[in-house]
Structure 1
Amino acid sequence: MSSIAAYYNGKTVLITGATGFMGKVLVEKLLRSSPGVKAVYILVRPKAGQSMQNRVVTMVKCKIFDRIREEHPNFHEKIKPINAELTQPNLAISPEDAQELASQINVVFHCAATVRFDEPLKHALLLNVRGTQQLLLLARQMQKLEAFIHISTAYANCPRRYIDEVIYPTPVDPQRLLDLVEWMDESLIQEITPKLIKEWPNTYTFTKALAEYLIVQEKGNLNAAIIRPSIVGASWHEPFPGWIDNYNGTSGIFIAAGKGILQTIKANIDAVADIIPVDVVINITLAAGWYTAVHRPKSMLVYNCTTGGTNPFCWGEMEDYVRSAFKRFPLDQPFRTPNAIITSNYLIYQYWITVRHKVPALLYDLYLRLTGRKPRMMKIFNRLHKMIMLLEYFSCQSWEWNSDNLTMLINQLSPEDRKLFSIDVRQLHWPEYIENYCLGAKKYVLKEDLSGIPAAKQHLRKLRNIRYAFNTTLLVIIWRVFIARSQMARNIWYFVVSLCYKFLYYFKASSTLNH
């Protein structure tokens, strides 16, 4: 029996952010690996016209629960939703619910956060910092609490190039900043945000750093640990390879590239694309919860969950793997053939943005207008460019992470634990993972049927023929308009053609001699 799985049997667990991407994976893995868990309380708020109950019903119908649905059909009976709002005092939890949580909970997993990079500072502070503060206040009242696990991000301290598994001081005290935004006008906060966040690239990473520091200040006697994942991607193995349910981060980039909408991205081909599968992060989280509760470390441990230090994978490699994956498993009705180019040169990037994004978008919108339809492609490209710009900070540079605590945790696991809670990313085979990622985006995000792949391949061939015909026509027009009318242009043209011919002849002759 796995020690980790055995630990959670009979325990009562509280999870925040359970309806989110990582939260769903955590709920599923916990209930499936430890079917004897007593109860899983989740904090849920009404959202987009959906009641708390409706959101939970929608969550348990999600594809990710198919495997546990077969093994334990009544798994949902152990999920206990609590109406809550992280930004409100005392989390807006009723006194009765607060009392129940205080008397029952053994382990807290705090996954809830806003992950938007461009979130206004006040809202990011309320969710990521005050929400954590309010949850700590509730946790300190829990009589049976054995572990408090907070999910942060490996980029919380991204202004540093080397990041240790320690809590770094922040340039401003979290509580003072919370007090400041409480009375300050929204427009004024927006104006001073760049001065407040300083070297941090966005409000997400900045508020995550503040939340970490706040935990040190206010955890009291709680047994706490912090998990710092890098770029969380699709699942590696569990509950099935390639599961993903959102367009965030690299998922949106992959889908845009597969649809032929994204044709260029600004990134350093040699920089590490520090993607870590979501199931690895969740396995580390559950393992850290077990270790914190059972071994009770003297100080709070931080776990850097990254792949760059142990199994590095660069953006340049990703370019080839994504293109190859979408040739094998093309998306339905792509706009163009998938052929995204990565460059770190600003001028080249702007050139490709103009030629391969803006001009085709304008022409397509013109076609839509002429056929009586609403133009939409330029709007799509504007959103895409905004996303690429927000990710540029992370795609153009690399970091060095210390992972001693994570290595220690791996060494603490029994053979059964290592099998059931796989966290060793050295065994991750990137080409296979990226292919499954792209296939997962097709199946689980876009909900496209795999039986349509032959038709999608036929559509790609049609697009390729259209491109060849367009390029040939463009070449003939350039010849007729510019080259054929100018003796100098013809001389340059003939010189280039003869040079290419000589190069090909030399290459052929060299190949013949070698054989």
Structure 2
Amino acid sequence: MSSVAAYYNGKSILVTGATGFMGKVLIEKLLRSSPNVKAIYILVRPKAGQSMQNRVENMVKCKLFDRVREEWPNFHEKIKPINAELTQPNLAIAPEDAAVLLSEVNIVFHCAATVRFDQPLKLALLLNARGTQQLLMLAHRMQHLEAFIHFSTAFANCNRSHIEEVVYPPPLEPKKLFDLVEWMDESLLEEITPKLIGDWPNTYTFTKALTEYLVQQEKGDLNIAIIRPSIVGASWHEPFPGWIDNINHFNGFLIAAGKGILRTIKCNTEAVADIVPVDVAINLSLAAGWYTAVHRYKRPKSMLVYNCTTGSMNPYRWGEMEYHILAAFKRNPLEKAFRIPGGHLTSSYLKHQFRTVVSHNIPAFLYDLYLRLTGRKPRMMKLLNRLHKSMTTFEYFSSCTWEWSSDNINMLLNQLSPKDKKLFCFDVRPLHWSEYIENYYLGAKKYLLNEDMAGVPAAKQHIRKLRNIQYAVNAFLLVVIWRAFIARSTMAQNIGCFLMDHSYKILNYFRASSLLRY
């Protein structure tokens, strides 16, 4: 029997960030591995014109839940949505809903956070730090709480080169910073944000570091563990290989390169691409939830931190990824590509800027000009500007390599039975990167772009047409350059005649040889 799966049966669980990428995978895994779970309460708020009910209905219709749906068509009855807002006092939860949570919840999984790198400091603090503080206050009042699992990020302390599985003190006290942003004018706060965050690259990583320290300060007698995933990517195995449902950062770059829009990315090809599959992070969090709850009497005052990364156990470099992605583009191209798919990584600023102008800006400008002339709205330059902005914010993480300790990961792995190691696998050492990247790309093609594999032959034919067009354009430009600049030179004319004369002689030689053989 699986000890971890058995533990969650009969339990009531609270999940924040349930409609996000990791939250959905967590709920699906819980329902599939522990079908007798009592209830899964999720905090949801209206968003983008959708009510709480509509968001939950769309979530349970997601393809992610197909395996659970086949085995248990009424799985959605276990999911109990509660209207809440992390930025509001007491999470804006109605008194009757709060009473249910206080009397029922056994485990909390806190996945909710803003993952935008360019979020204003005040909003990032409200969502990441203040929201967590409000949730901790609620957790302290829960009558049957056994474990509280907080999702942070492996880059919370990215200003260090070696990161242990400990909570580091931040340069500022979270509560003092709360007071500061409360009264300060937003324009002034934006101006001093770089000084406040210091050597953190953005407000996301900075507020995540503050939140870890806040959790440690206010944990009291709660049994808490912190999960630190690195770059969370598509699923490795569960519920099926390559599952992905968002176009944030790396996923967007992958699609843009496959469409032929993105041709150059600035990064260090020797740096480790610390991508962790989403199912690895979720399996680890569920195992950590079990361990935190079951061993709470043995280790009542400890708070374990788990660095959920791949770089320390199974390193994979950006340069290797470039090769595997280009091979995947060739085997299964995306439909209706803008240009021949590609993308080159470089650490050279000059090379990157040159390629940006030649391969991005000029083609985008010409395409937008074509759209204007045909009475349509230009869009390519706007799309490229968004891509360039996203690449700039991501560049920090694709140019550096970190060392993460994994003692707690190894300890937890040793606590699992053979059954649990298989059912809740988070050992990344057997991960075969070329196969994973292939499935990652195919997942983006199928689940993000809704492209059928039956369309691959037509996509390949479209790529061949684009290649022929490229050859024709290159030949035309060569002739224009020759006639405009080179052909006016007497020396260039003599060289041209010499080459044409020798080419003619070579052709005649091969023709005569073939006639003699005949």
Coarse TM-score class (shorter-chain normalised): over 0.9
Partner of 2:81 in structure 1? 81
Partner of 1:359 in structure 2? 362
1:403 matched to 2:406? The reply is: yes
Q: Once the two structures are superposed, what CA deviation does each residue of 1:190-247 show, in whole Å capped at 9, x if it has no partner? A: 1111111110111100000000000011111000000000000000000000000000
Contact 1:231 1:249 in 2 (8 A): no
Query: How far has the Cα of 1:496 moved from its partner?
Result: 13
Residues 79, 488 of structure 1: alpha-carbon distance in 2 compared, 3 angstrom cutoff: same
Provide the secondary structure at the position in 2 that maps to 1:395.
coil
Contact 2:269 2:345 in 1 (8 A): yes
> Percent identity among equivalent residues?
74
Query: How far has the Cα of 1:486 moved from its partner?
Result: 2.6
- For residues 66 and 37 of structure 2, the distance between their equivalents in structure 1, rounded to whole angstroms, comes to 19
Residues 343, 487 of structure 1: alpha-carbon distance in 2 compared, 3 angstrom cutoff: farther
- For residues 62 and 162 of structure 1, the distance between their equivalents in structure 2, rounded to whole angstroms, comes to 39
Partner of 2:229 in structure 1? 229
**Which deviates more from structure 2 when the two are superposed, residues 254-263 or residues 178-187?**
178-187
- For residues 114 and 163 of structure 2, the distance between their equivalents in structure 1, rounded to whole angstroms, comes to 23
After superposition, residues 47-62 of structure 1 pair within 5 angstroms as 47-62=47-62
Could you list the structure 1 runs, at least 4 aligned residues long, displaced by more than 2 angstroms after superposition.
486-497
- For residues 30 and 159 of structure 1, the distance between their equivalents in structure 2, rounded to whole angstroms, comes to 35
Residues 300, 493 of structure 1: alpha-carbon distance in 2 compared, 3 angstrom cutoff: farther
TM-score between both structures, scaled by the size of structure 2: 0.94
Bigger Rg, structure 1 or 2: 2
TM-score between both structures, scaled by the size of structure 1: 0.95
- For residues 39 and 108 of structure 2, the distance between their equivalents in structure 1, rounded to whole angstroms, comes to 12
- For residues 493 and 207 of structure 1, the distance between their equivalents in structure 2, rounded to whole angstroms, comes to 65
Residues 24, 490 of structure 1: alpha-carbon distance in 2 compared, 3 angstrom cutoff: farther
Residues 484, 98 of structure 1: alpha-carbon distance in 2 compared, 3 angstrom cutoff: same
Contact 2:153 2:227 in 1 (8 A): yes
Provide structure 1 residue ranges, at least 5 long, that are not aligned to the other structure.
498-515
- For residues 175 and 320 of structure 1, the distance between their equivalents in structure 2, rounded to whole angstroms, comes to 47
Aligned length: 497
**Which deviates more from structure 2 when the two are superposed, residues 324-333 or residues 120-129?**
324-333
Contact 1:482 1:489 in 2 (8 A): no
Partner of 2:467 in structure 1? 464
Q: Once the two structures are superposed, what CA deviation does each residue of 1:45-103 show, in whole Å capped at 9, x if it has no partner? A: 01111111111111000110011000111111000111100000000001111111111
- For residues 303 and 35 of structure 1, the distance between their equivalents in structure 2, rounded to whole angstroms, comes to 27
- For residues 188 and 399 of structure 2, the distance between their equivalents in structure 1, rounded to whole angstroms, comes to 31
Partner of 1:392 in structure 2? 395
The code of the aligned residue for 1:420 comes to: L
Q: Once the two structures are superposed, what CA deviation does each residue of 1:250-286 show, in whole Å capped at 9, x if it has no partner? A: 1111111111100000011100010000000000000
Residues 470, 50 of structure 1: alpha-carbon distance in 2 compared, 3 angstrom cutoff: same
Residues 258, 143 of structure 1: alpha-carbon distance in 2 compared, 3 angstrom cutoff: same
Contact 2:249 2:391 in 1 (8 A): no
- For residues 420 and 67 of structure 1, the distance between their equivalents in structure 2, rounded to whole angstroms, comes to 15
1:416 matched to 2:419? The reply is: yes
Query: How far has the Cα of 1:475 moved from its partner?
Result: 1.6
Query: How far has the Cα of 1:249 moved from its partner?
Result: 2.2
Q: Once the two structures are superposed, what CA deviation does each residue of 1:388-423 show, in whole Å capped at 9, x if it has no partner? A: 101000011110100110011111111100111111
Partner of 1:474 in structure 2? 477
Partner of 1:500 in structure 2? none
Q: Once the two structures are superposed, what CA deviation does each residue of 1:443-484 show, in whole Å capped at 9, x if it has no partner? A: 111111221111111101111111111112212222222222
The code of the aligned residue for 2:225 comes to: A
Provide the secondary structure at the position in 2 that maps to 1:246.
coil
Provide the secondary structure at the position in 1 that maps to 2:155.
helix
- For residues 17 and 227 of structure 2, the distance between their equivalents in structure 1, rounded to whole angstroms, comes to 15
- For residues 334 and 246 of structure 1, the distance between their equivalents in structure 2, rounded to whole angstroms, comes to 20
CA RMSD of aligned residues (A): 1.6
- For residues 333 and 495 of structure 1, the distance between their equivalents in structure 2, rounded to whole angstroms, comes to 43
Query: How far has the Cα of 1:180 moved from its partner?
Result: 1.1
1:124 matched to 2:128? The reply is: no
Contact 1:43 1:83 in 2 (8 A): yes
- For residues 495 and 193 of structure 2, the distance between their equivalents in structure 1, rounded to whole angstroms, comes to 55
Contact 1:17 1:113 in 2 (8 A): yes
The code of the aligned residue for 1:84 comes to: A
Q: Once the two structures are superposed, what CA deviation does each residue of 1:340-369 show, in whole Å capped at 9, x if it has no partner? A: 010000001000000000000001111111
- For residues 367 and 49 of structure 1, the distance between their equivalents in structure 2, rounded to whole angstroms, comes to 35
Partner of 1:171 in structure 2? 171
The code of the aligned residue for 2:114 comes to: T
Query: How far has the Cα of 1:492 moved from its partner?
Result: 9.6
- For residues 362 and 465 of structure 1, the distance between their equivalents in structure 2, rounded to whole angstroms, comes to 22
Provide the secondary structure at the position in 1 that maps to 2:271.
coil
Partner of 1:501 in structure 2? none
Query: How far has the Cα of 1:188 moved from its partner?
Result: 1.2
Query: How far has the Cα of 1:147 moved from its partner?
Result: 0.4
Provide the secondary structure at the position in 1 that maps to 2:466.
helix
The code of the aligned residue for 1:484 comes to: A
Partner of 1:146 in structure 2? 146
Provide the secondary structure at the position in 2 that maps to 1:398.
coil
Provide the secondary structure at the position in 1 that maps to 2:310.
coil
1:376 matched to 2:364? The reply is: no
Provide the secondary structure at the position in 2 that maps to 1:302.
strand
After superposition, residues 309-328 of structure 1 pair within 5 angstroms as 309-328=312-331
Partner of 2:515 in structure 1? none
1:22 matched to 2:25? The reply is: no
- For residues 284 and 356 of structure 1, the distance between their equivalents in structure 2, rounded to whole angstroms, comes to 42
Q: Once the two structures are superposed, what CA deviation does each residue of 1:163-192 show, in whole Å capped at 9, x if it has no partner? A: 000000001011111111112111111111
Contact 1:357 1:381 in 2 (8 A): yes
The code of the aligned residue for 2:445 comes to: K
